Structure 1
Amino acid sequence: MKKQTIFFLLLLLITTSIHADEGMWMLTNLNKQTRKAMKELGLQMNIDKLYNPQKPSLSDAVVNFGGFCSGVVVSSDGLVFTNHHCGFNAIQQHSSVERDILKDGYVAENYTQELPCEELYVRFLLRTEDVTQRILREVSLLESEEMRQTLTDSLIYVIQNEVYEQDSTVVAIVDAFYGGNEFWLSVYQDYDDVRLVFAPPTSIGKFGWDTDNWMWPRHTGDFSVFRIYADKNNNPARYSADNVPYHPPYVAPVSLDGYAEGSFCMTLGYPGSTERYLSSFGIEEMMLSQNQAMIDVRGVKQEIWKRWMNKDNEIAIKYAAKYDESSNYWKNSIGTNNAIRELGILEKKRGMEATLQRWIRQTPTEREQLLHLLTDLDLAYKKRRSAARAISYLSEAFMNGPELTQLAAIILNFDYEAEETALVSNFKKILKQYENMDANIDKEVFAAMLKTYREHVEPEFLPDFYNTIATVYNGNDQAFVDSLYASSKLTTPLGLQLIVNDSTFNLIEDFAVSVALDVLMKGYEINNSSMEATEQIVRGERLFNAAVRRMYAHRNFYPDANFTMRLSFGTIRGYNPYDGATYNYYTTTKGIFEKVKQHQGDTDFYVQPDILKAFSDGEFGKYANDEKGMNVCFISDNDITGGNSGSAMFNAKGELMGLAFDGNWEAMSGDILYDPNLQRCIGVDVRYMLYLIENFGGRHLIEELTIR
C-alpha cells in the first residue's frame, strides 16, 4: 500500500474511534449509539428518566449556578451542593477581619442564619427545542457573513421573544451549535433568592490553593452549600424575609456506597466552552493570543496582589475572590499551551486537515464549493494575527487589569435611562466594587500594566494616553499613574456619587474616563482593522465544521460545550501520567497529612490543628471507606471543562457520589482534543462532604438529605 493510503486509513481510525467516555452530550439528543454505550458501561437507571420535560427527572435537580458554575439540588427544601470555589465570592462578601468565614468556615443553624447572596441566582432547565430549520431556511442563501449574522440575530430575538410573550417569568435563549450549523432553544426558570448555608474553612475548601490547582493527586474539599428560596407559591421571587425554601420537583439522592475502579460515573452540568472542532489555525491563534496574554499579564498582576495580600489580612479578604478567579485560568492557560506542545495537538489537527483536503479534492460536490477552504482560512488567520494578539493583551492589561479603568468603562456605558429599580440596582453593583478595591494596590497594578502592554505589542497598538506619557510626563509611567489617581473622582465611591449627582459635570473631563475611552477607542480601531478577516474566519470555521461532519458521516458527533446542560459519562479509573508512574483513582485524608508535612510553613497547605486531630482520630462512622479510612477525592474519565465545576457526579443508579471540581495537568489541552488515556475529571467525594458538614455543626442539614 502507498504511504499516503496507510496514513489516511490510520487517521480515519484515530478520528472515528470515539470512546464511550468522550463527549458532552445534549440530553434532548441522545441517539441509540450513545444510549447503548451508556448501558454497556454500566448505567442501571432508565435513560428516559435523565430528562423529561413532562415529568420529574434527574436533570430537574441540576442547576446552572450563578451563570458560571453548576450545582445539584439535594433536599426537598432547596439545598444545593456546589463547589467551594463556585461559592467563593459569596463567602468572601460575608467575610470581614472580625468575622472571617473564609478562614473559619460557616454553618447556619437555622433558616434565619442563612446569608443572602445578592448577586447569585440558580437556573433550572425546563425544556429545549431544535429551531435549526427555522433559522437556516432564512439565512442559508446569504453570501455575506455579516448579513447572515445580522439576520440570525434577528431571528433568534424573535424566537426568544415569542417564548417570553407566552410566559414572562421564564428565560429563553437560542444557542448556536456546531459552529453555527445548528440552533437550539433552551427555556429556563431563574431563582434569584439564594442563601449561603454551609462553607468549610478555606484550609479544607481551598487546600493546596494554586500549587495543587489543576493537579492530581488532590486532597481539596471543594464544596459549599446554599439554599434556594421562593415565594409562598414556590415561584421565583427577589429576596424577601417572607420567602420560604424552594420545593423542587426532583431531589438527587445521595449514595454512601462509594465506588471501585471501573464503576460507571456520569456528570450532569453546564460546561462552558470547548473548541474540539476548531481548525489548527484557530488553535495556534488561541495559544499565541488569548492564552499567552493571560499568562504574561495576569502573572504580573497576581504577583502584586499576592504580595499585598500576604502583608495585610484585610487586603487578603478583599482580594481573595478576585485573585482566585484570575489565577484559575492563568494556570489553565499555562497548562493548555504546554499540553498542546507536548501532546502534538497542532500536528494531529493538521494531519486531519490534510485528510479533509484530500477528501474535498476527491469528492466532486465538495471540490466545487470548498477546494480553497483551508488555504483561505489560513490566510484569514494570518491577516488577523497581530490584531488578535494586540486585542488580547489590551483586554487583559486594561479592561481586566486596573479596576479604575474597569469602573470608568462601566460608567461610560451606564444606562441612565433605565427604570428606577434597575438604575438603583446597577448603581449598587458599581458601589459594591469599591468595597473590595484598594487604590494603592490598583495604582501599582496600573503602572505594571502600562509597562507590560508596551513590551508585548507593536507601537501602532498603543492607546493615545501613551503619547501623553511620552510628552507631558517625559516617559515616566509612575508620574502619569500618580496624576491619574490623584485627579480622578472615580477612585472613591463618594467621587462617583458626585459625578452622578452633578448634572453640569462633563464625564469625559474625568482623567480615568478619558483613559478608559482611549482604551475602548483603540480596541474598536484594532477590531475594525481585522473585521474583514474575522468575517472570513467565522464563515470558514463554520464551513470547516460542517465539512468534517460530512466526511465522517458515520461518526457519532457531539457539539462543543456552550454553557447549555450536558451529560458526560465514563468510568472511575486512574491513569499513567508518564513512564513508570501510576496514579490511583482516589485519595484519602492520609494524603492531607503528607502534604502538610511536605509543605510545612506554606500557608496554602495549612490546616487547623483541631481538624487534623479529627482526621487522626479516624472516627468517620458511616462515611468511612471499606478500610475504615476517609476518601477525599476521586477521578473518572468523564469529559468536562470550565463551567462543569459543581456538576453532580452520579453512579449507575443516578445517586450522587460527589461533585466535579477540576481537570488534570497532563490533559490541559482537553478543550481542544480529548485524550482518554490522560484526561480525568477530579471530584470531591460526597462522603467527605457529609462528614465535614456533620462535624462542623451541620447535622440538621444531613437530615434533609435522601441518603441511600
Structure 2
Amino acid sequence: MLRRCGLLLVALVMTVPSRADEGMWLPSLIGERIRDMRQKGFRLTAEDIYSVNRASMKDAIVLFGGGCTGELVSAEGLLLTNHHCGYRQIQQHSSVEHDYLTNGFWAMNRSEELPNPGLTVAFLVRMDDVTEAVLEGVAETMTPAERDTLIARNTARVIERATEGTHYTASVKPLYYGNQYFIYVTEVFPDVRLVAAPPSAIGKFGGDTDNWMWPRHTGDFSVFRIYAGKDNKPAPYSKENVPYRPKRHFTIATGGVEEGDFTMIYGFPGRTQQYVISDAVDFVLNRSNPLKIDLRTRRLRIFNEEQARDVRTRIQYAAKNASVANAWKKWQGESKGIARLGTIGKKQRQEAAFEAWAADKPRYRDVLPRLKKLYRELDENAFAVDCFNEGMAGIELPVFTGRIAPGTPVSVIRERAGKFYKDYSPAIDRRVAAELFTEYVKRLPARFLPDSLRREIDAAGGAAAYVASVMERSPFATAGGYEALKSDSAALMKALADDPAAALYRRARQGVVPAGREAKRLNAEITELYRTYMQGLREMSPEQDFYPDANLTLRVAYGHVAGYSPQDAVWHVPYTTLEGIMEKDTPEVYDYNVPQGLRDLHAAKDYGRWADRDGAVHVAFLATNHTTGGNSGSPILDRRGRLVGINFDRTWLSTMSDIEFDPSVCRNIAVDIRYVLFLIDRLGGAGYLIEEMTLEK
C-alpha cells in the first residue's frame, strides 16, 4: 500500500441510514449487527465470529505482510492469500534460471518451502474499548498540542499494561476521529514460508488490462505456511521451527455459491474516506488524481516498453510495475465514479443541512466554515507534496542514495544496495527521470522549488538535461559503479556524501519541507474540527447507524452474491468460468498466455471434483461486500462460516466506494475456492496440501 502525505480526507458519518450491505463493522461489537446478518441468511452467532473465551473465526485470520489479509486452512499453519499479496516474495525468489513468476512454484514437501526474510503475519488476540483510559485528564480547554501530548502518554500506559509479561504487541487506534479509542493486541509471527503460487498467467491473468474489471478470470491466490518454535510461539526463522498449530482454521465448502447467497468478508480493510466533505472530494477529483494518474501513466509506458525487451528486465520490474499500476488504475475508476454519482453536489447538500441544523448551536455552527477555510489553505501544500511523491520520488537512484543518512553503518548500506541493484535498470531509471523531473519542475508550485536548483536547471538547458547530467555523474548509476566502491568503506562514504543524485533528492525534498510541515499543521486542525463535527452529526441524526472508517484493523462486512448492470441494456452475471479463460487465451501476449498445462486440462475436461453442477470450473464471483485495500486476501465465507472464496479486487465502478458506496454497482471480486483447489490439485500436482484441509460439500 502507498503511504503518502497529502490532503487529509477525514471520514464523517452519513446523514442517512447505512444502506444494504454497506459498512465495515467491529468484530467485538458484531452482536449489534447479528440480527441483521441473520435476517440476510447468516446461521452462526456473534461469538462464532469474535470471542476471547474460545476459538473463533478471528483466530483463523491474519494481517499478512502489513497490508493484506490471509486465512488459515489447515491445522498445520497452511495459509491462503492473494497472488498479488505474495507477489514480491515470489518475485524475490525468481530468476532467469528459476522463473517462478512465469512458471509458478509448487513445493512438493515441506523441505522445499521457501523462507521470506522480513515477511510477518499478525493475529488479533483481542480488541478492547479504551476510550476512558486514553482520554483520562483530557479537557476541552486544552490546546490541540496539549491534548495530543496527554493522549500519547495515556496511550503508552495502556499499551504497556496490555502487553506486560507477554510476547504480544499492541496498538491503539482512534475511531470517529478521536471520539473513541480501541486497543488491538496482536501476536506476530516472523517465519512465513512460500508453499505454492500459480504461474503469473493465472495468478495475474489479464494483467493491468483486466485489473479492477469484470468479467474477471484471475486465479489470484498464493499459499504460505506459518512456522513457530516448538512451543508454538513466534520465533525467528530456523530450520528447527515447526508448522504453527492455530486455534482455528476454516472449513472449505466445495458446493459453490449461487446468486443471492449470503457472503461475509473478514479482513483488514486499510483506509476508507466514505463521508468526506465536498472540499476534500473536489481536491481528489480535480487536483490530486489527475496529477497522479498522468505521472504514473508516463512511468508505466516506460516500464512496459523496457520490460518487453528482455526476460531479465521483465522479472526485475514485475513487482514495481504492478505496484505503480494498481493505484493508477484505481484512481481512474474512482474519479469516474465520483463524477458519475455527483458526489461533490451530494456533500454540499449534506453540509447545507448541517449548517441549517447547527445555526442556533454555538458548539457546531462555526465548524464547517472553519473546515472549508482550512481546506483552502491546505490545497497548494497538499498538491506540492503529491508532486514530490509522484514526481521526484518516482526516480529510483536519487531516492536510494538520497535516503541514506550520514552516519549510516556501512553494513546497512551494503545490505540496502544488494536489494536495490538486484531489481534496478539504469536505462529505465534514466528514461523515467527525464519524464518525471520535467513534469515535476513544471507542475510544482514555484515557491517550493529552491531558487538555486531552478538556476542550475536553467543553466543546463532544462529539467531533462539537468537530471540526465545528474544521473550520468553519479558513481552509483550502475551496479558496477557501486561494486568498485563497496570494498573501501571510506571511499564509499565519501562518494555518498558527494553524490549528485543524492544531492538532487535532498534539495528537492528540502524545497517541499515547508509544504509538508504546513500540511501536517493544517491536518491536525482539520482532525480536531472533524472530531467536533462528528459529535454534531450524531446529535443531529441519533437514529442513524454509524460504522467507523477503515484503519487497517480487523472488520466484518457482509452482503450476498449478486450481478449488476454497468450500463444500459447490459447485465453482468456474478460468476466466470474456465471457458472464459480459454476465450481470452492469446499466446503472444504475456498476461493472456494460458499455461499449456491448463489448456490440456481444459481440452480433456479433467476437472475432477472441482467442477460446478453446470459441469464448468467456476473461476471468480461477485458479491456486495464493502471492501477496500487491505481486504486483498480476505476470506469470503458462507452462511455457515465456511470458506467459499478469496477476495482480491473490486470492479472499476466500485473504486469510488472508499468515498461513496453505491449499492447498485459496488461489487467485490473473489476467486472461487474450487478454482484454487483445482489448480493446486490438477495443475500444480500438490494435492497433498488438500489432504491437510477440512472440506465439506
Deviation (angstroms), 1:519 = 2.5
8 Å Cα contact 1:271-1:643 kept in structure 2:
yes
In structure 2, C-alpha distance between the alignment counterparts of 1:96 and 1:40, rounded to whole Å:
52
Of 394, 402, 405, the match for 2:395: 402
State the AA in 1 paired with 2:664.
N
8 Å Cα contact 1:576-1:678 kept in structure 2:
yes
In structure 1, C-alpha distance between the alignment counterparts of 2:423 and 2:310, rounded to whole Å:
13
Q: Deviations over 1:17-42 (max 9, x none)?
A: 3234111111012243x111100011
Q: Deviations over 1:224-254 (max 9, x none)?
A: 1011111111111111111111111111110
In structure 2, C-alpha distance between the alignment counterparts of 1:496 and 1:346, rounded to whole Å:
55
Deviation (angstroms), 1:396 = 1.2
- Taking the TM superposition and a 5 Å limit, the aligned residue runs for 1:277-292 are 277-292=275-290
2:47 corresponds to which residue?
48
In structure 1, C-alpha distance between the alignment counterparts of 2:463 and 2:647, rounded to whole Å:
48
Q: Deviations over 1:143-168 (max 9, x none)?
A: 4323333333333233223334332x
2:197 corresponds to which residue?
199
SS in 2 for 1:703: helix
Rate the CA distance shift 1:503–1:100 in 2: closer, same or farther, 3 A: closer
Of 350, 353, 361, the match for 2:351: 353
2:220 corresponds to which residue?
222
Deviation (angstroms), 1:472 = 4.4
1:9 corresponds to which residue?
none
Deviation (angstroms), 1:575 = 1.0
Of 580, 602, 616, the match for 2:589: 602
Rate the CA distance shift 1:688–1:509 in 2: closer, same or farther, 3 A: same
In structure 2, C-alpha distance between the alignment counterparts of 1:647 and 1:413, rounded to whole Å:
41
Structure 1 alignment gaps of length 5 or more: 1-12, 417-422
8 Å Cα contact 1:412-1:513 kept in structure 2:
no
Rate the CA distance shift 1:343–1:616 in 2: closer, same or farther, 3 A: farther
In structure 2, C-alpha distance between the alignment counterparts of 1:292 and 1:99, rounded to whole Å:
39
Q: Deviations over 1:102-137 (max 9, x none)?
A: 000110011110011112111100001111122224
In structure 2, C-alpha distance between the alignment counterparts of 1:617 and 1:142, rounded to whole Å:
75
In structure 2, C-alpha distance between the alignment counterparts of 1:77 and 1:430, rounded to whole Å:
36
Q: Deviations over 1:655-695 (max 9, x none)?
A: 10010000011122100111111100100000000000001
SS in 2 for 1:662: strand
Deviation (angstroms), 1:85 = 0.5
With 479-488 and 249-258 compared, the bigger mean Cα shift is at 479-488
Instruction: Indicate whether 1:481 and 2:474 are aligned.
Output: no
In structure 2, C-alpha distance between the alignment counterparts of 1:413 and 1:564, rounded to whole Å:
36
8 Å Cα contact 1:277-1:545 kept in structure 2:
no
In structure 2, C-alpha distance between the alignment counterparts of 1:414 and 1:177, rounded to whole Å:
39
State the AA in 2 paired with 1:679.
C
State the AA in 1 paired with 2:547.
Y
8 Å Cα contact 1:499-1:505 kept in structure 2:
no
2:159 corresponds to which residue?
160
SS in 2 for 1:447: helix
1:636 corresponds to which residue?
623
Rate the CA distance shift 1:139–1:648 in 2: closer, same or farther, 3 A: same
8 Å Cα contact 1:229-1:243 kept in structure 2:
yes
State the AA in 2 paired with 1:334.
Q
Q: TM-score by structure 1 length?
A: 0.92
8 Å Cα contact 1:288-1:389 kept in structure 2:
no
1:548 corresponds to which residue?
537
8 Å Cα contact 1:290-1:392 kept in structure 2:
yes
Deviation (angstroms), 1:633 = 0.3
In structure 1, C-alpha distance between the alignment counterparts of 2:496 and 2:164, rounded to whole Å:
38
- Taking the TM superposition and a 5 Å limit, the aligned residue runs for 1:415-494 are 416=409, 428-463=415-450, 466-475=453-462, 477-489=464-476, 491-492=478-479, 493-494=482-483
8 Å Cα contact 1:139-1:151 kept in structure 2:
yes
Deviation (angstroms), 1:351 = 1.4
Deviation (angstroms), 1:15 = 4.3
Q: Deviations over 1:574-632 (max 9, x none)?
A: 11112211111111111112222xx6743322212331221232222211111111100
Rate the CA distance shift 1:162–1:503 in 2: closer, same or farther, 3 A: farther
In structure 1, C-alpha distance between the alignment counterparts of 2:109 and 2:436, rounded to whole Å:
47
Rate the CA distance shift 1:491–1:152 in 2: closer, same or farther, 3 A: farther
2:5 corresponds to which residue?
none
With 14-23 and 511-520 compared, the bigger mean Cα shift is at 14-23
8 Å Cα contact 2:471-2:477 kept in structure 1:
no
Deviation (angstroms), 1:566 = 0.5
State the AA in 1 paired with 2:310.
D
8 Å Cα contact 2:575-2:622 kept in structure 1:
yes
Rate the CA distance shift 1:693–1:470 in 2: closer, same or farther, 3 A: same
Deviation (angstroms), 1:353 = 1.3
Aligned residues with identical type, % of pairs:
35
Deviation (angstroms), 1:494 = 3.3
Paired positions, count: 681
Rate the CA distance shift 1:467–1:266 in 2: closer, same or farther, 3 A: same
In structure 2, C-alpha distance between the alignment counterparts of 1:671 and 1:550, rounded to whole Å:
24
Deviation (angstroms), 1:426 = 8.1
1:23 corresponds to which residue?
23
In structure 1, C-alpha distance between the alignment counterparts of 2:176 and 2:220, rounded to whole Å:
33
State the AA in 2 paired with 1:552.
S
Instruction: Indicate whether 1:702 and 2:690 are aligned.
Output: yes
State the AA in 2 paired with 1:259.
V
With 570-579 and 407-416 compared, the bigger mean Cα shift is at 407-416
